[in-house]
């Protein structure tokens, strides 16, 4: 076993995968000699040099262009665009090229590209560095999207993403970087498309993702003191989505609250809610609730950002409304 924090788990996953497969290389801003903006690539440049840990210019479109060409040529690029907010800068490369190339060329080649980016608020980084854009990536066919909430998953999902033959957007939450756990120091992966039951319950299902998993767990602990036993599901894989685990839980509890940090309008909660309504409507005993951020930019002010982000009290109020 190894005692690691979340960001170190990412570093270990990258290091182990590059050791395992010589076709893997890193590219992005500061991923080389500086060791990454948050130490996620620390030590890799010193071990492999520029050939496999490439610092790039500040051009997200160029970074993803490198990834697309390299993958088509048979390599397995892992590229970082730092903040997921910068997806807007390279949207064409990601949404129109990487997501569609394998389809448009009739699967004549694989596209094993891992796109790493941090997401989420909580550190007063301002409205252009604190968003959660998983729903935008979820909307585009051809991309897989994962969001680890634990140290174990930070390592295992990244390894699975790197080994996958399709493009995977790997969104790691910056507010979780200091989260620490005892995890296996051996080789393991966490399957894409499989949710995790973090807490079993019978009265209501809390479906959460990324940092909101911990918010949901705290809320579930308080609700249990009131006699309400909440089941907490960590979706962790947005695309593919583990429908079966979600539906099995909702059929058991009859109630669902979906919790995510992105704005409520057109967020993943809307898609999950619609899926439950289409496939498990007869099992529902109350309307589905969504707990998410308001439809405004993420504030820079710490006080305003705290008010903006969903918290355990908001989850508890949503549960009380239907349970």
pLDDT band with cut points at 50, 70 and 90 for residue 1: confident
Q: What is the mean pLDDT of the chain?
A: 97
CATH of the domain at 174: 3.40.50.970
22 and 66 in a single domain? The answer is yes
Q: Pick from 129, 156, 183: which residue ends a domain?
A: 183
Write down the catalytic residue from 129, 173, 214, 260.
129
83 and 162 in a single domain? The answer is yes
Q: What is the pLDDT of residues 118-165, one digit of tens each?
A: 999 999 999 999 999 999 999 999 999 999 999 999 999 999 999 999
- Structure tokens of 198? 């973090």
190 located within any domain: no
Q: How large is the C-alpha radius of gyration of the chain?
A: 19
189 located within any domain: no
- pLDDT for 285 equals 98
For the chain, percent of residues with pLDDT exceeding 70: 100
Annotation says 173 is catalytic: no
Q: What is the pLDDT of residues 78-90, one digit of tens each?
A: 999 999 999 999 9
23 located within any domain: yes
Domain count of the chain? 2
179 and 262 in a single domain? The answer is no
Q: Pick from 119, 154, 183: which residue ends a domain?
A: 183
128 and 13 in a single domain? The answer is yes
Average pLDDT, integer, range 221-239: 98
188 located within any domain: no
Domain containing residue 281: 196-322
């Amino acid at each position: 076993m190894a005692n690691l924090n979340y960001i170190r788990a990412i570093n270990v996953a990258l290091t182990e995968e590059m050791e395992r497969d010589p076709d893997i290389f890193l590219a992005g801003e500061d991923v080389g000699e500086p060791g990454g903006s948050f130490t996620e690539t620390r030590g890799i440049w010193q071990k492999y040099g520029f050939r496999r840990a490439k610092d790039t210019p500040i051009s997200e479109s160029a970074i993803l262009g490198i990834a697309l060409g390299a993958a088509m040529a048979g390599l397995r690029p892992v590229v970082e665009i730092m903040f997921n907010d910068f997806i807007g800068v390279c949207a064409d490369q990601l949404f129109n090229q990487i997501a569609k190339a394998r389809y448009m060329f009739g699967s004549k080649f694989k596209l094993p590209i891992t796109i790493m980016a941090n997401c989420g608020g909580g550190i007063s980084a301002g409205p252009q560095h604190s968003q959660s854009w998983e729903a935008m990536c979820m909307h585009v066919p051809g991309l897989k999207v994962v969001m680890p909430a634990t140290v174990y998953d930070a390592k295992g999902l990244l390894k699975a993403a790197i080994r996958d033959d399709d493009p995977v957007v790997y969104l790691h939450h910056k507010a979780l970087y200091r989260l620490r756990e005892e995890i296996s120091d051996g080789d393991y992966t966490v399957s894409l498309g499989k949710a995790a039951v973090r807490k079993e319950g019978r009265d209501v299902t809390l479906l959460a993702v990324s940092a909101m998993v911990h918010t949901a767990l705290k809320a579930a602990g308080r609700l249990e003191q009131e006699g309400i036993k909440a089941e907490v599901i960590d979706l962790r894989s947005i695309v593919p989505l583990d429908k079966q685990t979600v539906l099995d839980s909702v059929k058991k509890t009859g109630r669902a609250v979906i919790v995510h940090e992105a704005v409520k309008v057109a967020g993943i909660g809307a898609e999950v809610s619609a899926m439950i309504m289409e496939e498990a409507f007869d099992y529902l005993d109350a309307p589905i609730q969504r707990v998410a951020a308001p439809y405004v930019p993420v504030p820079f002010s710490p006080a305003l950002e705290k008010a903006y982000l969903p918290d355990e009290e908001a989850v508890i109020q949503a549960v009380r409304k239907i349970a």
